Chain A
C-alpha cells in the first residue's frame, strides 16, 4: 500500500515538473470555436498512425459538437511535446475545453505546478515556524513553554478553513498572482504551524534530559547549537509524518479558497481556479470533464492516505 501511494505521488510530481513537455497546448491559449468542447477521442490506424477528427459546433446554445469525419488531423509524437496536433487551428483536447475554450488537460498539468508548489512552500513554512516554536518551548520549559503551548493549543482548536478565510478576506481582494501566492504561503504557514509545534515540543522536552545533551552541554555547546544540531534532528521522523499530512490539507485549502473566489484570479491555472470555472451546476451537468481537477486532488490525497495507512498495524487475526 505504501508503495502504491509513493508511486502515485511521484507520478504527480513528475507530471508537474514535465508539464511544458506533456501538455499538448499552452495553458492560456483560447480556441474560439471550442467553448465547452468535449474531450477529443483518438483513433489509430496502421497507415496514418494516431489521428483525431476536429470538432465543429452544431449548436452553441446546447453546446453540441460534431466530429468532422472527412478531415482527420494527425497527431505528432515527440515533436517538442509528447503529443500535439499537426494542425495549429485544431487542438488536441484530451480532457475537453473550458468556458474560454482553453485546454483543460494542459491547464491541469500546469495547475499541478501552482497547486503543488504552493502546498510545498506552505508546508515548509509551517514546518519551520512549528519547529522553531516547538523547539524553543520544549528547550526553554517554564513560563515560555507554558505561553507558547497555550498559544498553539488555541490556534489548534479553531477550524483552520475559517481562519484562512478570515485572514485572506481581510486582505485586499484583488491582487497580482505573485502576491496571492506569497500571501497564501504566509497564511497557510501561520495556520499550520501549531500542530507541528506541539509534537516537536514534546520530543525536544524529553530528549533534553538524555545523556548526550548533558554531554554536549558539558563540552561547552551553547543553547542554540544544542537545539539546532542535536535536538531538532531528533524530530525528523515526526516532521516527515506531519509534512505528508499538511501537504494535501494545503492543496485542498488552495482549491477551496480559489473555488469561493478568494484565491488566485481565474487567469492563473490552478486546480482551485479550474474548479471555480466548473462551479456552474447546469454546466457541470453536461460538461463533466470540467471536474477533472477534482480527480487530480483526489489522486494526491489518496496517495498520501495510502502512504499513511500502509504504515499502520494490521488487525489481530481471529
Chain B
C-alpha cells in the first residue's frame, strides 16, 4: 500500500512537471510573443523591457531553468494580462473550476449510478425509458448542453445566463447565495453528459456481474433481491466503475473548458485560453501545472476508491 502510494505520488509529480514544462517551452517556441499585446507602435524600449521582464531575452532552456527553480519555491512568475503574480490568479481560477467540477461530479454520480443499477438489473418500460433518455443525453456533449441552457436562460429568464456573480463586493452570505444562483446552469451542462456516461457504464458493469456465478449462487440461496443487488452485484461492479472515475476527471476538465467559455464562468479553462491567446507565457505554464495537479489528484483518488471498494486489490491479488 505505502509503496503503491509512493509510486502514484511520483507519477503525479512527474505529470505536473512534464505538463507545465511542455506548456512553457511550447509557448516560448511558438511564433510571436507576449509583446504583440503592446501593439504595433509600442516604443522599442518598452518592448525590450517587457521581453526582459518575462525572460524572453534569455535562451528557452535558460528561461525554463530559471522558471523551474523559482516554481520549486512556489513563485510562478507574473502574468502580463493581469499584471499580477500567477500563483494568486491560478488559485482563484482553480477554486472556481473545482466548485463547478465537484458539483457536476456529485450530481452525475447521484443521478447516474442509481439509474445505472436500475437499468442494468431490470427490464420493463421504466428502464427502457431511462436508457433512451440516457442515450440522448450521452449524445449532447457539454458544448451543446451549455449552449442550449444559455439559450433557455436567455429565453425564460429563470437563471442568470452567464458569469459566476452579479453582485460586486458582496458580504459572505450574499456571495454564497449569488454563486448558488449562477452555479446550476454550468454545473448541469457539465453533469448531464457525465451522468449519462455513468448510467451507461454502471448498467453494463451491473449486467455483466449479474451473469456471474456468485450472483446466480446467491440468488439460488434465496438472498433477498435488494441485498443481492446492492451487497453482491453492485459491490462487485464497483471495480470497473472506479477506473472510470479516474478518467472522469479528465472529462470534467475538458468539459469545464467549454462550459466555462460558453457561460463565462471564471475558471481555469477560460484563464488558460486567454493566456494561450495572449502568449502570456508564465500564466500558460501555471495553468498547465494546475491542470496536471487536478489530473494527478483525480487518478490518485480513483486508486484509493478502488482500494476501498475491492478487497482483491487490497490484498494484491489483482493488479
CB within 8 Å of B: which residues of A? 154, 157-162, 165-167, 169-173, 252, 255-256, 259-260, 262, 275, 278-279, 281-282, 284-285, 288, 291, 294, 297-298, 301-302, 305-306, 309, 312-318
Question: Which of B15, B19, B151, B261 is the most central at the interface, judged by chain A CB atoms within 10 Å of its CB?
Answer: B151
B203 within 8 A of A: yes
Residues of B within 8 A of A275 (CB): 143, 147
Q: Which residue on chain A has the smallest CB distance to residue B200?
A: A309
Distance between Cα atoms of A59 and B148 in the complex (Å): 27
Of the candidate stretches B26-34, B60-68, B234-242, B305-313, the one touching chain A is B26-34
Please pick, from A171, A282, A305, the residue contacting B135 in the complex, using a CB distance under 8 A: A305
Q: In the bound complex, do residue B154 and residue A313 qualify as a contact, i.e. CB atoms below 8 Å apart?
A: no
- Chain A residues contacting B288 (CB-CB under 8 Å) are 162, 166
Q: Which of B121, B143, B206, B211 contacts A259 (CB 8 A)?
A: B143
* Shortest distance from the beta carbon of B135 to any chain A beta carbon, whole Å: 6
Complex Cα–Cα for A292 and B128 (A): 28
Residues of B within 8 A of A315 (CB): 119-123, 127, 203, 206-207, 210
**Among residues 30 to 82 in chain B, which have CB atoms less than 8 Å away from a CB atom of chain A?**
30-32
Instruction: Assess whether B191 is interfacial by the CB under 8 Å rule.
Output: no
Contact B276 A170, beta carbon cutoff 8 Å: yes
Cβ B295 vs Cβ A158 within 8 A:
yes
B261/A260 in contact, CB under 8 A: yes
Find out whether the CB atom of B150 lies under 8 angstroms from the CB atom of A284.
yes
Nearest Cβ in chain B — how far from A83, in angstroms? 28
- Chain B residues contacting A279 (CB-CB under 8 Å) are 262
Q: Which residue of B has the minimal Cβ distance to A275?
A: B147
> Which chain A residues lie closer than 8 Å to B284 at the CB level?
166
Measured between beta carbons, the chain B residues less than 8 angstroms from A255 are 143
Bound-state CA distance A270–B302 (Å) is 38
Is B291 part of the binding interface, using a Cβ–Cβ cutoff of 8 Å? Answer: yes
Q: Is the CB of A318 within 8 A of B253?
A: no
The contact of A318 among B122, B140, B155, B211, by CB within 8 Å, is B122
A297 and B127 contact, Cβ closer than 8 Å, known pairs A160-B254, A260-B261, A305-B139: no
Interface residues of B (CB under 8 A from A): 15, 18-19, 23, 26-27, 29-32, 119-123, 127, 135-136, 138-141, 143-144, 147-148, 150-151, 154-155, 161-162, 200, 203-204, 206-208, 210-211, 225, 250-251, 253-254, 257-258, 261-262, 269, 272-273, 276-277, 284, 288, 291, 295, 299
Tell me, in angstroms, the Cα distance from A173 to B251 when the chains sit together: 26
Cβ contact of B147, chosen from A162, A173, A291, cutoff 8 A: A291
Contact of B253 among A159, A298, A306 (CB under 8 A): A159
**Alpha-carbon distance between A278 and B27 when the two chains are bound, in angstroms:** 30
Given the complex of chains A and B, what is the CA–CA distance between A288 and B150 in angstroms? 11
Please give, as numbers and ranges, the residues of chain B lying within 8 Å of A157 by CB-CB distance: 15, 250, 295, 299
Cα separation A170 to B27 with both chains bound (whole Å): 6
* A291 touching B207, Cβ below 8 Å: no
Partner of B272, one of A162, A284, A318: A162
A98 CB to nearest B CB, Å = 15
Q: Compute how far the CA of A314 lies from the CA of B228 in the bound complex, rounded to whole angstroms.
A: 19
Let me know if A252 and B277 touch, CB within 8 A. Answer: no
- CB proximity of A106 to chain B, nearest CB, Å: 21
11 A–B contacts from the bound complex (CB under 8 Å) = A157-B299, A160-B254, A162-B269, A170-B29, A255-B143, A256-B143, A275-B143, A281-B161, A285-B154, A313-B208, A315-B210
Query: Nearest chain B CB to A249's CB is how many angstroms away?
Result: 9
Tell me whether B250 and A159 are in contact (CB under 8 A).
Answer: yes
Query: Contact at A161–B254, with CB atoms within 8 Å?
Result: yes
- Shortest Cβ distance from B138 into chain A, in angstroms? 5
Contact in complex: B138, A305 (CB < 8 Å): yes
Interchain CA distance A166-B277 in the complex, whole Å:
9
Contacts of B29 in A (CB 8 A): 170
Chain A residues with Cβ below 8 Å from B273 are 165, 169, 260
A317 engages B295 (CB within 8 Å): no
* B143 close to A252 (CB less than 8 A): yes
User: Do B211 and A159 have beta carbons less than 8 Å apart?
Assistant: no
Once A165-B257, A255-B143 are accepted as A-B contacts, the answer to whether A284 and B210 lie under 8 Å apart by CB is no
Cβ distance A236 to chain B, nearest Cβ, rounded Å: 24
Give the residue of A159, A166, A297 whose beta carbon is less than 8 angstroms from that of B276: A166
A188 to chain B, nearest CB (A): 14
Residues of A within 8 A of B254 (CB): 159-162
Q: Measured between alpha carbons, how far is A278 from B147 in the docked complex, in Å?
A: 9
Q: Is the CB of A159 within 8 A of B291?
A: yes
Please, which residues of chain A bring their CB within 8 A of the CB of B138? Answer: 301, 305
Chain A minimum-CB-distance residue to B32 = A172
When C-beta atoms are compared, the residue in chain A nearest to B251 turns out to be A159
Which of B15, B123, B136, B208 contacts A302, CB < 8 Å? Answer: B136
Residues in A whose Cβ lies below 8 Å from that of B31 = 170-172
A305 to chain B, nearest CB (A): 5
Query: Does the CB pair B151–A298 fall under 8 Å?
Result: no
Chain A residues positioned under 8 Å from B262 (CB to CB):
259, 279
With A166-B23, A256-B258, A305-B135 as contacts: A297 and B144 at CB distance below 8 Å: yes
